[in-house]
Amino acid sequence: MSALVVAEFLKFRTTRSWIGFLLAAVALTAIAAAGTVGSARNDQLGTMALSRDIVSSSVFTAFVAFLIGIMSVTTEWRHGTVTRTFLVTPRRGRVLIAKELWIALLATVLAALAIILVLAIAVTWLAVEGSSLGLDGGVAGFVGRIVIASVLWGMLGVGVGAVVQSQTPALVGAIIWILLVEALITALLGLVDLEVVGEYLPGRALSSFDGTVDGGLTMWAAGAVSLAWVVALGFLGYARMSRQDVT
């Protein structure tokens, strides 16, 4: 299994897309962190609430991991390398698991780098303002939630890619679903007082888990729902992959 995970790393490294993803993650995180610190009022400086808002700037890497997860699967079909992949590893479930493990490792690294970048910007900026970044157990726990959420986002992307397989529909459809469709479904459910059902959609559940959405599911419930979506899409993706003739 370790050889398959290393192979996924080599596939990612040998494409130019990783540079764009890394630059996007860094740029979005830096802009969000600078905007959060720069717009803070004087009475917010040094508070735990501000520290949490600053740390939450790193959640953009979770969406980047989601997109990379989709592409890690769909690129195989787009460039026809899936045939060679399955010839080398006929047990297709192992291929999918390797992709899940690889994206989990990558998402962890991306989240860690984003958090380091956010803290570096915040500490420097606040020092110039004559303040400091407040840190406690609650903020540390929030950091952990963001890292785990990034991993779940990435693994969810692998599942989406395995189910859809066509790259453009998978990417465009996933982005529209997360940014628009889920909000629309939740709003429509609200008309019949069932908006709570919308909190169980994958994007909403993950946003509740990482703390970027208030008033949704509790942390533990959101985590359980998010994991259920990852497992469900993974099984659906495996079911589709295992029945395909890719010769």
| Residue 7 included in any domain | yes
Mean pLDDT of the chain: 82
DSSP 195-217: HHHHTTSHHHHHHHHHTSSSSSS
User: What pLDDT is recorded for position 66?
Assistant: 92
- Asked if residues 48 and 134 have their Cβ atoms less than 8 Å apart, the reply is yes
| Residue 247 included in any domain | no
How many whole angstroms separate alpha carbon 236 and alpha carbon 160? 9
Instruction: Quote the domain boundaries for residue 99.
Output: 2-242
| Residue 196 included in any domain | yes
- Asked if residues 238 and 94 have their Cβ atoms less than 8 Å apart, the reply is no
Q: How many domains does the chain have?
A: 1
Residue 194 CA to its chain's centroid (Å): 27
Band (43; pLDDT cuts 50, 70, 90)? low
Judge whether residue 33 has pLDDT over 90: no
Band (226; pLDDT cuts 50, 70, 90)? very high
Band (194; pLDDT cuts 50, 70, 90)? confident
Smallest Cα–Cα separation from 116: which of 137, 145, 147? 147
Band (227; pLDDT cuts 50, 70, 90)? very high
Band (157; pLDDT cuts 50, 70, 90)? very high
- Asked if residues 7 and 86 have their Cβ atoms less than 8 Å apart, the reply is no
- Asked if residues 68 and 21 have their Cβ atoms less than 8 Å apart, the reply is yes
Residue 240 CA to its chain's centroid (Å): 23
Residue with tokens 């984003």: 114
